[in-house]
Chain A
Amino acid sequence: MNRLKRIMYKSLEMKLSPREQQRLDRAMEKSPQLRRELFLVKEIRSAVQQPKNSFSPWFETKVIHKINTLGNPERIGLSPLLQTYRTATLIGLVAIAAVIVVALVLNGSLSLEATTGLETINAENLTAFLAFEY
Chain B
Amino acid sequence: MTSNLRTRIAAPDHATAGEVIRIRTLIGHPMESGFRRDATGQAIARDILVRFECRFESALVFAADLAPGTAANPYLSFHFRAERSGTLAFVWRDQNGAETRDQHALVVE
A binds B: no
Seen from chain B, the residues whose Cβ lies within 8 Å of a Cβ on chain A are none
